[in-house]
Structure 1
Amino acid sequence: MDSTLFQFLDKLKNNNNRIGLKNKSEFDLLNKQVKTYFQSVFDHHKNIFDWDNVKVFRIYRDVRFSKNKSPYKTHFGIAFHRLKPNHRGGFYVHLDPADSFIASGFWDPNKDDLFRMRKEIEMDHEYFRKKIEGSQVKKMWGEMKGEKLKTSPKGFDREHPANDLLQYKQYIFSKKVDHKTIFSHEFETFIIDHFKTLLPVLNYMGEVLNTNLDGESLL
């Protein structure tokens, strides 16, 4: 990818209106560049991660219910979706001149999935901690992140030794990426090396979500 991508996004951020995207051909060229790059990443590594598809999100914002009426996003978001129902969790790349990052995990689990994940942690929290606090995960990603409740979720013991994990509403890992890495030849390697370290976590939770509390398959 070319560094003109961030130059374009900076200009758009400073002039986020219909006039700001008057040079549509410039956007179309950069959008195609991003799509081509990440389609190549997908094609090269889809079998490792059991990816189903890759999506580059539209730059147009839905402003119908927002106080912010700026018509355009000032970043590119790229999501790698896995083959469901066997494989769960997702991978994401965020390209923003001011805040680029990669991420993986469970961003918005539905009510049933979140309950099942919490029950598994309740029953076997030491194994889950071992997965998310492994040396390679820590080295590559640091601590797990995500929105949390202020207290234990309903129906769970607030004195449980894994109450800190049960409070999570999301189970996410993210890492900031600098401009030099993004526009280097090593960016794809950087992405894949980081994503690989989280495969054991995602695959484990995928197995959990595909079984009931007795460990019987739901598929």
Structure 2
Amino acid sequence: MDFKGLLDFLTELDKNNSKEWMDRNRKTYHHLRDAFIQWLDRLDIRLARLDPEYYPTPGRSGINRINNNLLFHPDRPVYKDHFGAGLDKAPDTGDFYIQIGIRESLLAGGLWRPGPKKLKSVREAIDYDGESLMAILGKPSFKKTFGDLYEDEKLQTTPKGYSRDHPYIELLRHKTFAVVHDLPREVILSPDFEDYIAEVYLEMLPFRRFLNKAISV
């Protein structure tokens, strides 16, 4: 995969963010998109070999649209500044997300603002076995790779049914349960990029499995 070519294309798209420019350069876009899908297919096979519970996700199923949804976000540009995809994408679970962009490139996973039912299930899992999640989050290699949970909206009070002195009250206040690992440009352009992704995937896996088990029971 020519990631430098992809980043160069996204840079030019960002400078000329319009359907007219895209129409003139659509052949290049489709070439890069097809190459990205083929790269995702190879990565999909590799991750499946690492994880016996992996949910096969072909590149065409995992890749996201490059168009922004202007119906709900009319203030955004026509096109995104990145290529993004979700792998290990079983229905109704948190996938493993890859984003390659000019402003932000990252690997992420977990649950982004889950609905009330899923959020309730995650909180029940923390109430029942928060010690396991704390052990995952506190593992030195995990903290080095991801830092803390992604900072998003949190309750200022306590969730209904839980006391303020609950041992895991800070976890219970979260509305998003996700972690993020930033990807430097030099890593993306490195010949060892896929090895790097595999290491991050495995480090994240216990965290994602805890959440997915919580919302599947």
TM-score > 0.5, shorter chain as reference: yes
Distance in structure 1 (CA, Å) of the matches to 2:149 and 2:77: 32
Structure 1 length normalisation: TM-score? 0.87
Partners in 2 of 1:90 and 1:8 — Cα distance?
A: 27
- Given the superposition, is the C-alpha separation of residues 188 and 120 from structure 1 closer, same or farther in structure 2, using an over 3 Å criterion? same
Distance apart, 1:84 and its partner CA: 4.8
Identity of aligned residues (%): 25
**Which residue pairs with 1:216 in the alignment?**
none
Q: Does 1:104 align with 2:106?
A: no
Equivalent-residue separation in structure 2 for 1:44 and 1:140 (angstroms)? 20
Aligned 8 A contact 1:59 1:76 in 2: yes
**How much has 1:136 moved relative to structure 2?**
2.1
Pairing of 1:150-189 with structure 2 (within 5 A): 150-189=156-195
- Cα drift, residue 32 of structure 1: 1.1
1:73 correspondence with 2:80: yes
Q: Which amino acid aligns with 1:51?
A: Y
Q: Please name the residue that 1:197 is paired with.
A: 203
Give the residue type in structure 1 aligned to 2:125.
E
In structure 1, what is the Cα distance between the partners aligned to 2:137 and 2:163? Answer: 22
* Structure with more helix by fraction: 2
Distance apart, 1:179 and its partner CA? 1.0
Q: Any unmatched runs of 5+ in structure 2?
A: none
RMSD: 1.9
In structure 2, the partner of 1:95 is 100
Cα offsets for 1:164-193 (capped at 9, x unmatched): 100111111101111111111111111110
Q: Partners in 1 of 2:96 and 2:164 — Cα distance?
A: 31
Alignment match, 1:217: none
Q: Hey, what's the Cα distance between the residues in 2 that align with 1:120 and 1:163?
A: 13
Match of 1:36 among 32, 35, 38: 38
Counterpart code for 1:151: T
Q: Counterparts of 2:186 and 2:106 in 1: how far apart (Å)?
A: 13
Letter in 1 for 2:56: D
**Distance in 2, Cα, partners of 1:179 & 1:209:** 35
Q: After superposition, where does 1:134-153 map in structure 2 within 5 Å?
A: 134-147=139-152, 148-153=154-159
How far 1:67 sits from its partner (Å)? Answer: 2.7
Partner of 1:51, secondary structure, is: coil
Cα–Cα, structure 1 residues 158 and 194, in superposed 2: closer, same or farther, change >3 Å? same
User: Normalization by structure 2: what TM-score?
Assistant: 0.88
Look up the SS of the partner of 2:181 in the other structure: strand
Amino acid at match of 2:43: V
The separation in 2 between residues aligned to 1:153 and 1:99, in whole angstroms, is 33
Letter in 2 for 1:14: K
6-15 or 141-150: bigger deviation:
141-150
- Cα distance, 1:61 vs structure 2: 2.0
Poorly superposed stretches of 4+, deviation over 6 Å: none
Shift of 1:110: 2.5
Correspondence 1:52-71 to 2 at 5 A: 52-53=56-57, 54=59, 55-68=62-75, 70-71=77-78
* SS of equivalent to 1:52: coil
When the two structures are aligned, how many residues end up with a matched partner?
A: 209
Distance 1:82 1:56, change over 3 A: closer
Query: CA separation of 1:83/1:25 partners in 2, compared to 1, >3 Å: closer, same or farther?
Result: same
Secondary structure in 1 aligned to 2:39? helix
